[in-house]
Amino acid sequence: MESYLSEILSSYKGIKSELIPILQKVQAEFGYLPEEAMNKVAEFCRVAESKVFGIASFYAQFRFVPLGRTQVTACRGTACHVRGAPQILAEVERQLGIEEGETTPDLEYSLETVACIGCCALAPCLVINEKVESKMTPKKVKELFTKEE
Amino acid sequence: MRFEEIKQEAKEKREALRQSKNPLIFVGTATCGRSAGALDTLEVFHRELKSRNIDAEIIETGCLGLCYVEPIVGIAKPGRPNIWYRNVSPERAKELIEGYLVKGDPLAEYALGSTEGNVEEIPYLFDLPTLKPQVRRVLWNCGFISPTDIDHYVASGGYEALQKAVFEMQPEEVINEVKRSGLRGLGGAGFPAGRKWEGCRRAPGDEKYVICNADEGDPGAFQDRSVLEGDPHSVLEGMIIAGYAVGARKGYIYVRAEYPLAVKYLEIAISQAREKGFIGENILGSNFSFDLEIFQGAGAFVCGESTALTLSIEGNRGMPKPLPRPRTTEEGLWDKPTLLNNVKTFANIRWIINKGADWFAGVGTERSKGTAIFSLTGKIANCGLIEVSMGITLREIIFDIGGGIPGGKAFKAVQTGGPSGGCLPASLLDVPVDFDSLATAGSIMGSGGMVVMDEDTCMVDLARYFLDFTEKESCGQCSLCRLGSSQMLEILRAITEGKGEMEDIDLLIELGEAIKIGSICGLGQTVPNPVLTTLRYFREEYEAHIIDKRCPALACKELISYHILPTRCVACQRCFWACPNKAITGYTLQAPVINEAKCVRCNTCLEVCPTRLSAVTKTSGAKVGVPS
């Protein structure tokens, strides 16, 4: 990790305004923000560790646990909501045994929600590893996860 | 290079493409097209054309705005008009190659419409009922040009406004033109753009910034993304002109990291614009210099607020500055004068400079000039992105452009402005859509989300949904916003679960009014809007939940139950097998029975029951008498 991190940091100057872009880069590399990495970023940008954690926890993009191999993202946009997104999310949670924001202990699945993916015409939607599954029903959700196992 | 040469080169390139002996194929591959499978379609075109040895030029374009018929493909054969096709799945793509490209039959049954000429049996594209009432300015190029090739934009008249502004106009003249046009900020608040520009120009200081707000966080809105993915240069051009007008040398585009494609296209656009000399030192040989950078927002709704946004670029949490605070135009990014406008506001600038303020103001109402762009979604036949003249009525948008409510259901409400907006009932369908009329009705124009709801949407649940969103997004500085929104959410939750009391309604109103007064930013001040407008127009739904413990829309889980009617059931056992929670007990040759304690109200049984039988029913309030 050390070497990856110094490689990322080498293209920055180490000023406060680079904090968010650096954290984005770190997360793109590791899939989440490991504690050691955040400490290093704090040192590099000469700010308190609490400041880095404060930023990382404020913005929805950042996460502190690794992602699963299969990323499941449920859209909770308004169009999806009025077309039954809550039932879809509930069914995914039931199928995977985890709640929104969690990763299964075997690191196979992680489940997140997103404010809107903008595919409102195909609502309700799930995104599974960047592939959009459109016009979902609880039954389709069940089929999706039983098929993959 | 001089602008004339750049333009000449781009036009020649376009002409060569038009005169080419090979067909041109346009595939809409913006995010919405992709989610409908456009990349698979694109791959089929590449593969099939190669294997059949057909020479053709494939151009990826942005979004036409007709999301309900994605993926959309346009084909221009030499000497023939362009024909636009709908729902082009990989199979249909193969049919089009075989039918039209090889055999020459335009396959009118798959066509949406034609442009640049007429084809028998195919209507003119812009005569489609959903396109005809629209006034497309910001969306002018979207879907027709390649967003990743600057020459396409230049050939369509792009960067002419920049050339004109920099060489023929003084900064004050540019500002004057924008002022006279009556353009208002299209990010939601509708502040007159010209006055903002003037404020920034007059603010003392040599170092100034221009920021484009593309942090579109409103669930159910995607118009900023579509503009950035379809015609990014129109936004850049507006920003550069703004830089010239206010005296800034540096600009930022604050775009959501959740929009990876928009970010990618912007990066390409900026580097191409730099190459041509539209960005950088001494733009087009003038003594005006301006540079642009992208900043990726990390997902905080409150960062749409100007002071939160600038703090976030500086590397802080996006928490709006406390009141009283100087205007961003006086003290913004790094405490320097900063001009912050929305994507669509900047995209309008080139029209104002090219065609003049009077032309621009020729469309719209007395106090809201120009066009409005909406993401039209929800329970509507023609979902998509629309651009209409300010002052058009909600009815025209929903029923003429949107094609009405699908499935024979009744219209119930339309929600504009996202979590900060409100829900308007059928009685207000004739309200003109402009900043002031919507505000009077209790909603807002907002950034342009427009979600249509039918009889199956519960208004209490919808208010709870928006509160759930804003409660999470509250930055937490103001106690009334932070705690008030969670209190309101608690109350709404209780009502949707049938645990509400009549006093709750007054409490919601009181809390709502208090949050409006006690919050320092636009997010807090508008948190209660969805609750207050649904209470204003749909109070009886709240009362039904509270008094009768009944959800009239049959949507609130805790208040509904499912039953199988033995008289209609033919014991096919479909629901028995489909139930994800094994809550249905099946019997041979007899209607199955739903075990209410185990039922999770997922609606699956109702969906799988054949419509000719409709043996599964959903009820709320008094239980349905099970016929013996």
What is the value of ipTM here, to two decimals? 0.88
Per-residue buried b or exposed e for A132-142, using 16+ beta carbons within 10 Å of the residue's own CB: bbbebbbbbbb
The pLDDT value given to residue B626: 46
Cβ atoms of B353 and B164 within 8 Å: the answer is yes
Note whether A128 contacts B: Cβ–Cβ < 8 A: no
Co-location of A27 and A97 in the same domain: no
Q: How far is B130 from chain A (nearest CA, A)?
A: 15
Could you give the C-alpha distances from B316 to B105, B245, B297, B339, B594, in angstroms and in order? 60, 29, 12, 20, 53
DSSP-assigned letters across all residues of B211-235: EEEE----TT--HHHHHHHH-HHHH
Residue A138's pLDDT band, with cuts at 50, 70 and 90, is confident
pLDDT at A33: 95
- Give residue for tokens 């949904």: B465
Instruction: Tell me, yes or no, if B315 comes closer than 8 A to chain A by beta carbon.
Output: yes
Which of A15, A58, A80 is most worth mutating to test chain B (most B CB atoms within 10 A of its CB)? A58
Looking at the structure, do residues A15 and A50 belong to the same domain, yes or no?
A: yes
Give CA B209 to chain center in angstroms: 27
Q: Write out pLDDT tens, residues B219-256.
A: 888 899 999 999 999 999 999 999 999 999 999 999 99
pLDDT interval class at B258 (50, 70, 90): confident
Contacts of B216 (CB under 8 A, 6+ apart): B222, B223, B224, B225, B256, B259, B304, B343, B447
Encode pLDDT of B276-299 as tens digits.
Answer: 999 999 999 999 999 999 999 998
Q: Are residues A96 and A44 in the same domain?
A: no
**Residue numbers of the domain that contains A43:** 2-58
Q: A80 and A144 in one domain?
A: yes
Please indicate whether, in this complex, the C-beta atoms of B449 and A20 are within 8 angstroms of each other: no
* A65 and A109 Cβ atoms separated by less than 8 Å: no
Measured between beta carbons, the chain B residues lying within 8 angstroms of A88 are none
Residues of A whose CB is below 8 A from B317: 54-55, 58-59
Same domain, A77 and A128: yes
DSSP for A10-46, please give it: TTS---GGGHHHHHHHHHHHHSS--HHHHHHHHHHHT
Chain A residues in contact with B383 by the CB 8 A cut-off are 79, 120-121
The band of B625, judged by pLDDT with boundaries at 50, 70 and 90, is very low
Cα distance between the two ends of chain B? 87
pLDDT at B115: 92
B554 and A CB contact within 8 Å: no
pLDDT tens-digit map of B484-521: 999 999 999 999 999 999 999 999 999 999 999 999 99
- The residue among B67, B30, B115 whose CA lies nearest residue B374 is B67
Q: Is the pLDDT of residue A149 over 60?
A: no
CA angle B253, B258, B264 (to 5 degrees): 55
Mind listing the pLDDT tens digit for each residue in A60-99?
889 998 888 999 999 888 888 888 898 899 999 999 999 9
Question: Are A54 and A74 within one domain?
Answer: no
Q: Between A and B, how many CB-CB pairs are < 8 A? A: 148
Mean pLDDT across chain B: 94
- Look at residue B591 and tell me whether its pLDDT is greater than 60: yes
CB-based contact (8 Å) between A13 and chain B?
no
Instruction: Please report whether residue A65 resides in a domain.
Output: no
Domain co-membership, A45 together with A109: no
Q: Which two tokens stand for residue B406?
A: 């699908």
A118 neighbourhood in chain B, CB within 8 Å: 31-32, 222, 225-226, 375
Q: Would an 8 Å CB–CB cutoff place A42 in contact with chain B?
A: no
Q: Is the predicted pLDDT of residue B563 greater than 70, yes or no?
A: yes
Q: Which residue of chain A is at minimal alpha-carbon distance from B456?
A: A82
Partner-chain contact B418 A78, CB within 8 Å: yes
Based on the fold, state whether residues A31 and A86 are members of the same structural domain: no
The SS3 assignment for B166 reads helix
Report the CATH number that the domain containing residue A74 is assigned in CATH. 3.40.30.10
- For chain B, what percent of residues have pLDDT higher than 70? 99
CB contact under 8 A, B453 and A79: no
Residue type, A50: S
Q: How confident is the model at residue B628 (pLDDT cuts 50, 70, 90)?
A: very low
Residue B569 above 80 pLDDT? yes
Closest among A92, A90, A78 to A133, alpha carbons compared: A92
Which residue in A12, A53, A78, A89 has the most chain B C-beta atoms within 10 A of its own C-beta, making it the best mutation to test that interface?
A78
- pLDDT tens column, B441-490: 988 888 888 999 999 999 999 999 999 999 999 999 999 999 999 999 99
Residues 206-245 of B with CB under 8 A from A: 217-222, 225-226
Residue A63 domain flag: no
Question: Which residues on chain A are in Cβ contact (under 8 Å) with B313?
Answer: 17
A1 touches chain B (CB under 8 A): no
DSSP string over B344-391: HHHHHHHHHHHH-HHHHHTSB-SSSBSEEEEEEEES-SS-EEEEEETT
Q: Which CATH number does the domain housing residue A48 bear?
A: 1.10.10.1590
Whether the per-residue pLDDT at B366 is higher than 70: the answer is yes
Alpha-carbon distance B36 to B70, whole Å? Answer: 6
Encode burial over B3-20: b for 16+ CB neighbours within 10 A, e otherwise: beebbeebeeebeebeee
Q: Which of B145, B535, B209 is nearest to B341 (CA)?
A: B209
| pLDDT of B568 strictly over 90 | yes
H/E stretch holding B467: helix B459-473
Tell me the pLDDT tens digit for each residue of B325-334. Answer: 999 999 999 9
The residue out of A58, A83, A104 marking a domain boundary is A58
Query: In chain A, how many domains are there?
Result: 2
Contact B288, B166 (CB under 8 A): yes
Q: Please state, for a pLDDT cut of 90, what percent of chain A lies above it.
A: 50
DSSP letter string, chain A: -HHHHHHHHTTS---GGGHHHHHHHHHHHHSS--HHHHHHHHHHHT--HHHHHHHHHHSTT--SSPPPSEEEEEE--HHHHHTTHHHHHHHHHHHHT--TT-B-TTSSEEEEEES--S-GGG-S-EEETTEEE-S--HHHHHHHHHHH-
Last residue of a domain, one of A22, A38, A58: A58
- Read out DSSP for B392-432? -BHHIIIIIIS---GGGPPEEEEEESGGGSEEEEGGGTTSB
Instruction: Tell me the shortest Cα–Cα distance from A100 to chain B, in angstroms.
Output: 14
What's the pLDDT at A139?
85
Give per-residue pLDDT as tens, B374-428: 999 989 999 999 999 999 999 999 999 999 999 999 999 999 988 889 999 999 9
The answer to whether B39 and B30 are in contact (CB under 8 A) is no
Residues A35 and A87 in one domain: no
Measure CA B245 to chain center. Answer: 29
Q: Would you say residue A64 lies in a domain?
A: no
Residues of B in contact with A55 (CB under 8 A): 315-317
In this complex, do B35 and A132 lie within 8 Å of one another by their Cβ atoms?
A: yes
In a domain, A126, yes or no: yes
Is the confidence at residue A134, as pLDDT, over 90?
Answer: no
pLDDT of residue B31: 87
**Can you tell me the distance from the alpha carbon of B194 to that of B253, in angstroms, rounded to the nearest whole number?**
20
Report phi then psi at B378, rounded to 5. Answer: 95, -140
Report the pLDDT value the prediction gives residue B447, as an integer from 0 to 100. 81
Three-state DSSP at B89 gives coil
Does residue A124 share a domain with residue A75?
A: yes
Q: Is B582 on the interface with A (CB under 8 A)?
A: no
pLDDT in tens, A31-54: 899 999 999 999 999 999 999 999
Say if residues B374 and B223 touch (Cβ distance below 8 Å). yes
In this complex, which of A45, A116, A121 lies closest to B383 when CB atoms are compared? A121
If asked whether residues A143 and A74 sit together in one domain, one would say: yes
More confident residue, B79 or B110: B110
Question: What is the signed CA dihedral for B144, B448, B435, B489, rounded to 10 degrees?
Answer: 180
CA-CA distance, B260 to B171, in Å (whole number)?
34
Residue A125 lies in a domain: yes
Distance, CA of A117 to CA of A107 (rounded, Å): 24
Q: Render pLDDT for B189-198 as a digit per residue (tens, 0 to 9).
A: 899 999 999 9
Q: Which one of B34, B35, B211, B598 makes the best mutation probe of the A interface by having the most chain A beta carbons within 10 Å?
A: B35
Residue of A nearest to B317 (CA): A55
What is the C-alpha to C-alpha distance for residues B558 and B480, in angstroms, rounded to an integer?
29
Task: Walk me through the domains of chain B, giving residue ranges and CATH numbers.
Answer: 13-124 (3.40.30.10), 159-361 (3.40.50.11540), 371-454 (3.10.20.600), 459-547 (1.20.1440.230), 557-620 (3.30.70.20)
With CB atoms and an 8 Å threshold, state whether B298 touches A24.
yes
pLDDT band for position B627 (50/70/90)? very low
Residue A48 counted as domain residue:
yes
Domain final residue pick, A19, A35, A58: A58
- In this structure, the answer to whether residues A78 and A140 fall within a common structural domain is yes
Nearest-CA residue of chain B relative to A121? B383
pLDDT at B129 > cutoff 60: yes
Using the beta-carbon criterion (under 8 Å), do A116 and B313 form an inter-chain contact? no
